[in-house]
Copies of this chain bind each other. A is one copy, B any other.
C-alpha cells in the first residue's frame, strides 16, 4: 500500500454526487468517470450506455478495471476534508465532562498529548486514528500532532503508508503549558518544527500525499518571540500554518491580558506574520468585525468545528455571515474537543449550530444540506490549498472519493426483521425516494457503515466488508 505503487486504470460507473457551488449539488444518476494510473480523472461522461460503448469511446481504457456498485442505492461522493483535528487526542474522544476550553486542556488534553512521547503508544493511537478517519471517508486531514518530533514524523509516515492526504504539524508551545509538556525555548520550538518539516519533505518530496504545517498551538501557548520566529519559519519554508483563534470567551480575555499591545486576537498572529493565504484558523467563533476584515485581507482560511464548539460550549460560529463576507471555510472535527472523527457528523452539527443561531437571528442563517456538503468537500479543499486537485469530480482532478451504499429496507416479514442487525447501516431507504432524498437520508442518518470504499489519488485506501469484490470487475 505504499503511495508509489502502480494502480490500474479504472472506470467508475454509476451515480455521482458532488457540489458544483455552495448551494448546488450535482446528482448525475448514470455516469462514468475514467481515472488513469496516476489517479487523475481523464474523462467524466454524464450518460452511460454500456461498458462496451464506454471502452470503445475511450480507447485507452480498453483494459481498464470497472468499478460498479452492486446496490442501486449507492453512489460516489468526493472524499471528505477534515481541516482541523488533533490525532493525539483520539483516545480522549467523548471525554470532556462539563469542562470548557481552558479546564479541558489541563484535565484531559495535555496529559494525553504528553504521553505520546512513547512511540509505541503513538503508533497505536495514530494507526487507529488514521484507519478510523479513513473509514469515515476522510481522504484529507490537517492534523495537529504533539511537540514530539519522532511521534509527529511517525504520524506523517503512517498517513503516507495508508495513503491518506495529510498536513501534519508538530505543535509549538513554549509558555502557559505544563512544565512537563512544552518547548524549552524559542530556538527549540523552531529547530524541532524545522526537523519535522524536513522529515515530511524527505519522505514525500513533491508533497503528493503528506505536507508539513507550522503549528503554533494557539496564542496563549506561545510567546511573541515564538510566534514571530514561526512567522519567519513560514517565510523560509513556505509551509502551511495552522492555529486556533477566538474559540472561547475566556480564551479571548486571556489573549488580551497576555498581548496588551495587540489590537485584538487576530492582530497577534498578523503581527507575527502568521496570517497568510496558507493559514488555517480553527474556530473563529467570536471574531470582531475588524478581525474578520484582516483575515479576509490576508486570505487566511477558516476551519469551522461545530461539534467541538457545541460540546465544550464555545459558541456558534456565524458561518452564514462569514460566507457572505467572502471567507473561505471548511469543516473540522477538532477531535477530541469534538466528540466525533466523522465529517459527516460535522455536516449535521454545522446544520444544527446554524439552526441554534437561527432561533435568535432568523431563518436566513440556516445552512442547507447542500451547503454543509460543500463545506465538507470543496470548501475544505480551498482551505487546505488543494482546490485544484480534490473536492469534486472534474477532468484533471485526482480521484479522492468514497462509495456510499445506503442499503435497502427488506420486505416486512416479521421473523426476518427480528434477525436484522442492520449491518448495512443506519439509513432506511424504502425504494420510493428521489436521489436528492437519498442523499438527505445519508446526511442525516448515515455513518461509516455507508462508506463502503474510499480512494485517494485513485488508490483504494479503505474498504468495508460490504464492498464486495463483485463491485470491482476485471
Contacts and interface: CB of A to CB of B under 8 A. Distances in A.
A51 interface: no
Interface stretch (A29-37, A166-174, A440-448): A440-448
Contact of A311 (B127, B316, B355, B427): B355
Given A124-B430, A409-B128, A422-B132, A313 B417 contact: no
Interface string A407-433: 001111111011011110011101010
A136 to B, nearest CB: 9
Interface string A79-118: 0000000000011011101101000000000000000000
A340 interface: yes
Given A124-B411, A423-B465, A464-B421, A339 B98 contact: no
A162 interface: yes
A466 B421 CA distance: 9
A363 interface: yes
A90 B463 CA distance: 29
B94 A441 contact: yes
How many copies of the chain does the oligomer comprise? 2
B316 A417 contact: no
Contacts of A427: 94
B440 A95 contact: yes
Contacts of A232: none
A363 B100 CA distance: 9
Interface residues of A, number: 73
A93 B310 contact: no
A135 interface: yes
A462 interface: yes
B135 A422 contact: yes
Given A162-B418, A412-B123, A420-B131, A95 B437 contact: yes
12 contacts: A94-B444, A94-B445, A97-B440, A100-B363, A128-B409, A132-B428, A310-B352, A310-B355, A339-B348, A352-B352, A356-B356, A421-B463
Given A93-B445, A128-B409, 14 more contacts: A120-B412, A124-B412, A127-B414, A130-B417, A310-B352, A310-B355, A313-B358, A315-B359, A316-B356, A339-B348, A340-B445, A421-B464, A426-B448, A447-B447
